[in-house]
Chain A
C-alpha cells in the first residue's frame, strides 16, 4: 500500500511538472486530488485495513496529499507568474510614441509678466490702482509738469483724439501710466484734504505712442508705475525700494546702478540698469555690449506734481518709477521683435 502511495506521488509530481497552463492544472487537480482520484481511493479504503496498517498508511496518505497540494500551489503560482509575465510582455508599449495632448488655456505673456510684477509689488505694500486709457492733455502732461510745447514732450510722440477744439487740453491716448499718479493722489487727498493719507500704489496699464510699428518700437505697450507718497520718503528710500524690487525680479545677485536722468514729473530722476543677465556684464548683443540693461526710470516726485495731486511738497515727498513688462520679457527671453506681443500668433503664445 505504501508502495502504491509512493507510486501515486511520483507519477503525480511527474505529470505536474509537465503542466504549463491553468486548464491542464485544473484537470490534474481533479485527477490527482479529486474525489475519484487514486489517492482519495486510498483514503476511502483505509477502513478496510488492519489496525496496524491503518495509521501507517493513513499518515503516509496524508503526507502525500499535503505534498501534492503544496506542489499544486507552487505550480499554480508559477503558471500565474508565467502568464502574467507573458501578458506584460505582450502589453509592452512603444514609449517613444507621442503623448496625447490636452488643449489648455494660458494667459497672454504680458498678463503673466504684469502679474509677476504686481505680485512682487503687492508684497511690498504697493496696491493696484488702475485708471483710464484715453486721457486729457492736462492729466497726461500738464499736471505732470509737462507744459504745452515743453521739449520733454519730444520724448513722447502722442496720438491725439478728434474732439473738437479743446484749446490747450486735447484728448489723447495716454503715453504713460503716470496720469494715474495725479488721479490717485487726488482721490486719496480728497479723503482728508487737511492731512492726506500716505500712498503706495502700483498702476499697470496700456500706454500708446505715435510710432511706426517695427521690431523695436510699438504703438502700444504695457507699463507698471509705482508711487509712494508720505511725510518721510527720501531718495535713499527710493534706492532701497528699487533694490528690493530688482532683487525679487532678477534674482539675489543682480547688480544694479542708478544713472542720473530726466523726467519732467520727477526730480531728481534716475534710470536704473541691471547687470546684463545674459552675459553677466561681459557685453553681448542683448546689452549692446554695455554690460548693463536699462530696466526702469524713477525719481522723487516733482514738487509741482505733488502740489497738483493735493499734497503739500513742503510736508510730503515721494517717489515714482515706471517699467515695461514687455521689455522685461524681451530681455529675459531674448525676444528680438516686439511685434510678437500683439501679433498673437498662437505658436508664440503657446511658449509661455
Chain B
C-alpha cells in the first residue's frame, strides 16, 4: 500500500522524523517498507549520492526533490496566442516576485488561448531556469535540467509543470492546475512536496491497509498521539430511512449493511490536493464522488460503494427502495461495472433491490446503478471541448443525465466468502483486497459518514439525516486477561501492568488493571484478536511489537537439553552419501516432478495409475511425481553428455500411489557412469571408458563400507532396460537389494548419448538400510604371510565366483585372501576354455611353512579338478 506522508500527517504529528526514520520504525514493526518515493521533499544525501556513499541507507529510494528556490507556486494571469505556432499558447505567469512569459502546449490550457487577461488567475506549478525535472516528453522517467531556449522565435526561460515532470504520476496530459487557495510564491515543495512509503501489508494486518491504520501504528511506535478524524457534517431534508430500507438474509455472510444519502451533488473533479494524494496512493482520480469513496476507503480502510439513487428510485417505482443482500442463484448473471457479464454461483453474495441484483457484494459494483458522469460520455462520444469543471449539457446516451443523488453503501462481509468470490471471478480490487482479509463491521458506519462528509465538501449537495443501518451480527469485543507473569513466561521481559497497559493503549486497546491482571479489550477496528490462550498470544504480539523486538534481550534457554536420541535413518543415508563420494561419484539432486512420458524412455509406458499425479501441474512435463530415480539421473547424465567423464548419483525418494491415501515414499539410490574411466591429461590419452566392472568395483567398496558380508552377484538377464549379458543383481543375505549393468542398446537409443556404454545401478535403500552390518574390524596379523599364485583352466561357462568360492571353502580360514588377477582366453589352452589366475594369501596365528601352504594348495587344486573339471595350468 502506498502511503503519502502528507496524508499521514493529517492524523499524527511526524515533526522531526525523516521519511527514512518513519520507514525504519514501520519496517521493524512488521510494516515492511519496500520503497520510498520522494515527490518533492528533499531526499536523504545517501540516496542522492548513490551507491558509493559510505553511509548506510536502508531503503530502495526513488523520485525527485524539488528545488525550493526554482520551483514555486505561481499564477497564470494572461493567456495569449503564440505568434508563430498554432499549437502553443503564451502565458503571462506571476511567481510572486515578477512576471514572466512562458510557453506551453498543454491541452488543458489550450481552450483559453487568446483569452488575454484572466478574470480569475489559474494557479500552477512553476519551474524556473535550472530546475531539475523529469522530461515530460521522454518515455519513462528521464531527469533533465531546464535550460533557456528559443521556441519558434520566442525566448523560453521557464515552464509550467505537468504531474509527470514533477514525478507525481508516470504519465500526464496537461499542466497541473492547483487549487485556488494555493499561495503564490511559496516553494512548491513546501506546498505539496511529499514522500510516499510503499508498504507490504501482512495477511494479519489488514487493519493497517489504511492511512489511519499506519498512523495508529506510528503513534504506538513513537509514543505520539493519534489525532482521529472529526467526522461531522450538516444534514437537511428528509431522513434516508423514509425512502430506503435494508434487509440482510444471511448475517454470517453480511453482518452489517449501512447506507446514507446525499442529494443534489455536482459531479466535477475533486480538489487538486485530493487528486494528488489519490494518485500518489496509486488510485486514479475520476470525479469528486468516486474520489470521495476511494479517499475515505484509503483513509479508514472501509471500502464504500456509491449507487445512483435516482436509478434505484426509478427501479422501485412508487415503493420504498428496498436493498437486500442474498446469495446468488447458480447461473444468475450480473454485468459488473467493468462491463463484463459474470455468471454467478450460489456462494456469491449479491446486493439487490426488488427488481434484481445491483452489485457483487464487497467485490465490484454493477454497471446499471453506477455513478454516472455525463460529461465524460459526451467528451468520449463527440470530442466536444469543455472547460475544466464545467458540465456540458446534452442527452446522448441511455442514461443521459449525470448522477445527482447518491446512496452510499458501507458494509461488512465474511472475509472467506469474499476471498473465494474474488478468486472465482478473478477480480482483485481495492475493495476485495480489504474485505477478503477482514474489515470490522464498526468501520461500515464510520466509512459511510466520512464518505458523505467528503462528498458534501467537494460536490456540494445536502446529506440526508440519519443512516439506514442493518447490523444483525455484532462481533463480540474480545477481552483478554494478561499478567506480568504471562509476559515474562512468553516474551522473557519484566513489565508492570501499567507498562503493558501503556503499550497497548497507543493501539487503542482498552486496558483496566484488576488486581494482578490487566483486562484488555480489543479496539473496534480489529478482527484479529481472539480470547483465551490464543487471545493472550495475540495481545502479547502487540506488546512485543510496541515494546520493540530490538529491546527484548537475547538469552539462552534455561530448560535442560532434552535426551539426545539421534536419527539413525538420516545418519545412515549421510554415511551412504559419503561412501558414494569417496568412490568418485558426484551427487545430484533432481526434480521430484516428471511425466510418464519422460520415464517411459527408460521403463516403458505403464498404466496411468502407476504414478502419483499432480492435480495442478505447472507444465505437462512435470505432471506426476517420479517413480524411477534412475530416469532422473539418466536425464542429468544426458544433459551433461559433453563432459568427458560422467559419474553421478542421487539419493532420494520416489513416489508410489496408495489409492486415495498418502503415497508411499521409498528411498532409492541411482548411479550412472559413462565416458572416460580416467581424467585425461596431456600425457594420458584415450583412457578406456567406464564398463560393468568399474561400477561393480565401486559397489563392492560401497557395500563393504556399509560393513555388509554375504554379498553375491548373479546375472540379471531379464531387467528390460539392461544389456542381458552385462547385468547383475546384487544380493545381500540372499535378498536382492539392487541391480546394475550396462544400459540396453535399445534403451540407450532413446537418450542422446555418445558411444561410451552407459553403466547404471539402482538400489532400494529401505531394504539395504535394514540389513545389519555383519563384520567388525579384525586385528592386523603379526605373522608373515605366504603368497602364491595358481592358474587353472576351466570351461568358459564356469563362473569366476564359483571357482573363488571353492578356493575359499577348501582353503578354510588359513587362506585369508583370494584375488583374481588374470583371465586368459586362447586357443593354446583349448577351445571353449579359459584360464583363471588367482593370487592366494596364506596366513595363520603361527608362522606357516611353505610345506603347509603347499598342502593346502594341493587340496584346493584337487577340489577344483573334481568339482568344476579344472586343470592346473603349468
Q: Which of B666-712 contact A (CB under 8 A)?
A: 678-679, 681-684
In the docked arrangement, what's the CA distance between A3 and B542, Å?
119
Q: Which of B398-456 contact A (CB under 8 A)?
A: 415-416, 419-420, 436-437
Binds A, one of B28-36, B189-197, B389-397: B28-36
**Which single member of B27, B415, B560 contacts A151 (CB below 8 Å)?**
B415
Indicate if the CB atoms of A243 and B554 lie closer than 8 Å.
yes
Indicate if the CB atoms of B555 and A162 lie closer than 8 Å.
no
In the docked arrangement, what's the CA distance between A292 and B684, Å?
50
Interface flags for A136-174 (1: CB within 8 Å of B; 0: not) read 100000000000111110110001111110100011010
Indicate if the CB atoms of B555 and A239 lie closer than 8 Å.
yes
A111 is an interface residue with CB less than 8 A from chain B: yes
Hey, which chain A residues are within 8 Å of B53, CB to CB? Answer: 282-283
Indicate if the CB atoms of A232 and B663 lie closer than 8 Å.
no
A155, chain B: closest CB distance, angstroms:
7
Indicate if the CB atoms of A212 and B662 lie closer than 8 Å.
no
Hey, which chain B residues are within 8 Å of A98, CB to CB? Answer: 681-682
Indicate if the CB atoms of A240 and B30 lie closer than 8 Å.
no
In the docked arrangement, what's the CA distance between A241 and B569, Å?
27
B559 is an interface residue with CB less than 8 A from chain A: yes
Indicate if the CB atoms of B586 and A346 lie closer than 8 Å.
yes
Q: Which of B5-44 contact A (CB under 8 A)?
A: 27-30, 32
Indicate if the CB atoms of A105 and B679 lie closer than 8 Å.
no
In the docked arrangement, what's the CA distance between A163 and B534, Å?
34
Interface flags for B609-640 (1: CB within 8 Å of A; 0: not) read 00011111110001001000000000010011
In the docked arrangement, what's the CA distance between A101 and B678, Å?
8
**Which single member of B59, B553, B554, B640 contacts A344 (CB below 8 Å)?**
B640
A6 is an interface residue with CB less than 8 A from chain B: no
In the docked arrangement, what's the CA distance between A128 and B420, Å?
39
Indicate if the CB atoms of A317 and B614 lie closer than 8 Å.
no
Indicate if the CB atoms of A108 and B591 lie closer than 8 Å.
no
**Which single member of B57, B541, B554, B682 contacts A283 (CB below 8 Å)?**
B57
Indicate if the CB atoms of A134 and B612 lie closer than 8 Å.
yes
Indicate if the CB atoms of A200 and B419 lie closer than 8 Å.
no
B77 is an interface residue with CB less than 8 A from chain A: no
Number of B residues near A (Cβ < 8 Å) is 109
A341 is an interface residue with CB less than 8 A from chain B: yes
Max count, chain A CB within 10 A of own CB: residue among B559, B617, B683, B684: B559
**Which single member of B550, B589, B591, B653 contacts A111 (CB below 8 Å)?**
B589
Indicate if the CB atoms of B655 and A134 lie closer than 8 Å.
yes
B652, chain A: closest CB distance, angstroms:
8
A284 is an interface residue with CB less than 8 A from chain B: yes
Indicate if the CB atoms of A302 and B537 lie closer than 8 Å.
yes
In the docked arrangement, what's the CA distance between A291 and B57, Å?
7
- The answer to whether residues A234 and B489 also contact, given A240-B554, A262-B202 and a CB cut-off of 8 A, is yes
Hey, which chain A residues are within 8 Å of B780, CB to CB? Answer: none
B552 is an interface residue with CB less than 8 A from chain A: yes
Q: Which of B512-546 contact A (CB under 8 A)?
A: 533-534, 536-538, 540-541, 544-545
Hey, which chain A residues are within 8 Å of B544, CB to CB? Answer: 235, 260, 268
A48 is an interface residue with CB less than 8 A from chain B: no
B564 is an interface residue with CB less than 8 A from chain A: yes
Indicate if the CB atoms of A105 and B583 lie closer than 8 Å.
yes
Indicate if the CB atoms of B491 and A236 lie closer than 8 Å.
yes
Indicate if the CB atoms of A128 and B567 lie closer than 8 Å.
yes
Indicate if the CB atoms of A313 and B639 lie closer than 8 Å.
no
Indicate if the CB atoms of B665 and A108 lie closer than 8 Å.
no
Interface flags for A285-305 (1: CB within 8 Å of B; 0: not) read 000111110000000101110
Q: Which residue of A lies closest to B546 (CB)?
A: A260
A262, chain B: closest CB distance, angstroms:
4
- The answer to whether residues A164 and B203 also contact, given A149-B416, A199-B562, A233-B557 and a CB cut-off of 8 A, is no
Hey, which chain B residues are within 8 Å of A54, CB to CB? Answer: none
Interface flags for A101-116 (1: CB within 8 Å of B; 0: not) read 1111111101100010
Indicate if the CB atoms of B556 and A100 lie closer than 8 Å.
no
Hey, which chain A residues are within 8 Å of B616, CB to CB? Answer: 159-160, 210
A206 is an interface residue with CB less than 8 A from chain B: yes
A219 is an interface residue with CB less than 8 A from chain B: yes
Indicate if the CB atoms of B490 and A300 lie closer than 8 Å.
yes
In the docked arrangement, what's the CA distance between A171 and B661, Å?
8
B35, chain A: closest CB distance, angstroms:
10
Indicate if the CB atoms of B589 and A151 lie closer than 8 Å.
no
**Which single member of A104, A261, A289 contacts B60 (CB below 8 Å)?**
A289
**Which single member of A162, A198, A206, A350 contacts B613 (CB below 8 Å)?**
A162
Q: Which residue of B lies closest to A285 (CB)?
A: B51
B204 is an interface residue with CB less than 8 A from chain A: yes
A267 is an interface residue with CB less than 8 A from chain B: yes
Interface flags for B80-118 (1: CB within 8 Å of A; 0: not) read 000000000000000000000000000000000000000
In the docked arrangement, what's the CA distance between A199 and B560, Å?
10
Binds A, one of B242-250, B362-370, B641-649: B641-649
Hey, which chain A residues are within 8 Å of B636, CB to CB? Answer: 344
- The answer to whether residues A161 and B614 also contact, given A107-B581, A233-B559, A236-B554 and a CB cut-off of 8 A, is yes
A231 is an interface residue with CB less than 8 A from chain B: yes
**Which single member of B420, B553, B583, B663 contacts A134 (CB below 8 Å)?**
B663
Indicate if the CB atoms of B541 and A284 lie closer than 8 Å.
no
**Which single member of A129, A148, A240, A343 contacts B557 (CB below 8 Å)?**
A240
Indicate if the CB atoms of A342 and B679 lie closer than 8 Å.
no
In the docked arrangement, what's the CA distance between A212 and B619, Å?
9
Indicate if the CB atoms of A159 and B614 lie closer than 8 Å.
yes
In the docked arrangement, what's the CA distance between A134 and B490, Å?
33
Indicate if the CB atoms of B679 and A100 lie closer than 8 Å.
yes
A281 is an interface residue with CB less than 8 A from chain B: yes
Indicate if the CB atoms of A260 and B30 lie closer than 8 Å.
yes
**Which single member of B491, B559, B577, B585 contacts A235 (CB below 8 Å)?**
B491
- The answer to whether residues A151 and B436 also contact, given A208-B592, A283-B51, A346-B586 and a CB cut-off of 8 A, is yes
A205, chain B: closest CB distance, angstroms:
10
A220 is an interface residue with CB less than 8 A from chain B: yes
A30 is an interface residue with CB less than 8 A from chain B: no
In the docked arrangement, what's the CA distance between A269 and B542, Å?
11
B566 is an interface residue with CB less than 8 A from chain A: yes
**Which single member of A130, A161, A162, A240 contacts B569 (CB below 8 Å)?**
A130
Indicate if the CB atoms of A346 and B646 lie closer than 8 Å.
yes
Indicate if the CB atoms of A107 and B562 lie closer than 8 Å.
no
- The answer to whether residues A270 and B549 also contact, given A107-B581, A134-B665, A159-B614 and a CB cut-off of 8 A, is yes
- The answer to whether residues A132 and B490 also contact, given A97-B682, A212-B618 and a CB cut-off of 8 A, is no
A74 is an interface residue with CB less than 8 A from chain B: no
In the docked arrangement, what's the CA distance between A345 and B436, Å?
44
Indicate if the CB atoms of B639 and A134 lie closer than 8 Å.
no
Indicate if the CB atoms of B684 and A100 lie closer than 8 Å.
yes
B258, chain A: closest CB distance, angstroms:
24
B214, chain A: closest CB distance, angstroms:
14
In the docked arrangement, what's the CA distance between A118 and B63, Å?
44
**Which single member of A103, A155, A173, A236 contacts B552 (CB below 8 Å)?**
A236
Indicate if the CB atoms of A108 and B32 lie closer than 8 Å.
no
In the docked arrangement, what's the CA distance between A170 and B30, Å?
32
A–B complex contacts, Cβ < 8 Å, 6 sampled: A102-B679, A104-B584, A152-B203, A236-B492, A239-B549, A240-B556
- 5 nearest CB pairs, A to B: A236-B492, A234-B492, A260-B30, A105-B581, A230-B559
Contacts A282-B53, A282-B56 supplied; 15 other A-B pairs, CB < 8 Å = A103-B584, A104-B581, A105-B582, A105-B583, A128-B571, A129-B567, A130-B567, A151-B203, A161-B612, A171-B660, A228-B559, A260-B541, A267-B541, A342-B589, A349-B587
Q: Which B positions have Cβ atoms within 8 angstroms of A?
A: 27-30, 32, 46, 51, 53-61, 202-206, 415-416, 419-420, 436-437, 488-493, 533-534, 536-538, 540-541, 544-545, 549-550, 552-567, 569-571, 574, 577, 580-593, 612-618, 622, 625, 636, 639-640, 643, 645-648, 653, 655, 660-663, 665, 678-679, 681-684
